[in-house]
Amino acid sequence: MKNIVILISGGGSNMAAIVKQAEKADWAHRLGARVAAVVSNKADAQGLVFAREHRLATAVLDHKAYPSRDAFDAALMAEIDRLGGAGSMAGQPALVVLAGFMRILTPGFVAHYAGRLVNIHPSLLPAFAGLNTHQRAIDEGCKFAGATVHRVTTELDHGQILDQAVVPVLPGDTAATLAARVLTQEHIIYPRAVERLLSGG
């Protein structure tokens, strides 16, 4: 079984979209894959409630409890490998999926999961890497915005692009209204990209 471990920090709507697609499309039988666990760096992350309701293993590692970024990432790697390796082949988890995980990861962490670490970013990369993407797109007068699923590398938001969705920027849009419109597309392209990776695409 190819295990997926999803990392969240908040509501986990992209995580929920992936879990729902895994169930709907029967990844377990079709692809030999499953969402094995959800890990958060915040105990009050609402996404943990959804994960537990869907009988997924969950774990919380509070980054504030660790003396350094390296120490936290080392503990996080150990927990991911423990959860992602349960009932699976060696070398699991097959994928580590960042779904609103609000941490910049260390090079050691990225190297440990090289080729298996994916993220979604709320812009049409390579445009608007980093934060405040929607407001920056509006301020620049962009006619289109969107979201990008990409592999994670040590360079922030610059890994191989796996999927994208384009969303129009409408007259009168605010960062909030644009973000809401982009999010609906994130929920489509992220499960699609994960499924494609699991299929060997």
| Enzyme catalytic residues | 121
Contacts of 29 (CB under 8 A, 6+ apart): none
Which strand (E) or helix (H) includes residue 188?
helix 175-198
Of the candidates 165, 161, 134, 173, which has an alpha carbon nearest to the alpha carbon of residue 147? 165
Q: Is residue 83 left, alpha or beta, with left meaning phi > 0 and alpha meaning psi from -120 to 50? A: alpha
DSSP lists the bridge partners of residue 45 as: none
- Could you tell me the two tokens for 1? 């079984």
Q: How far apart are CA 32 and CA 29, in angstroms?
A: 5
- Cβ atoms of residues 115 and 153 within 8 Å: no
C-alpha separations of 134 from 86, 130, 141 in Å: 39, 11, 11
